[in-house]
Amino acid sequence: MPWKARLNGEPVFVELTYSGMVTPQDLLEALAAAGKLAQEGRTQRFLADLTTMIGGHSIAHLYELITLLEANGVDRAMKEAIVSPNLDGNQEQMRFYETACLNRGYRVRLFRARGEALAWLFA
């Protein structure tokens, strides 16, 4: 499986780690798992680590994912910090996701380092 999801930390947040090729179906499965964990941990904070992700999905797939967030009533109070040291590799897709989420009222931000991401996530 090219992704893992778990509850982490105190205060609690959902951590998603992606690696290798991540298909559109993988994204949907990760979203469902993250939602269940968020309910279990009573959190709306998410950290997505894309450090070892190569790709496997398109901007259209990311748009579909954002549409599912809205359709499933994901609270706009959620925060998602995305860590990718190599923002240049998939920059167009990541910037699209960040901007599209922000345009819909979701707080999503890209970071190159985990420490910066966590600082923002809990600010």
The whole-model pTM stands at 0.92
pLDDT tens by residue, 34-93 = 999 999 999 999 999 999 988 888 899 999 999 988 888 889 999 999 998 775 556 788
| Torsion over CA: 37, 5, 84, 98 (sign) | negative
**Cα dihedral sign, 74-79-83-87:** positive
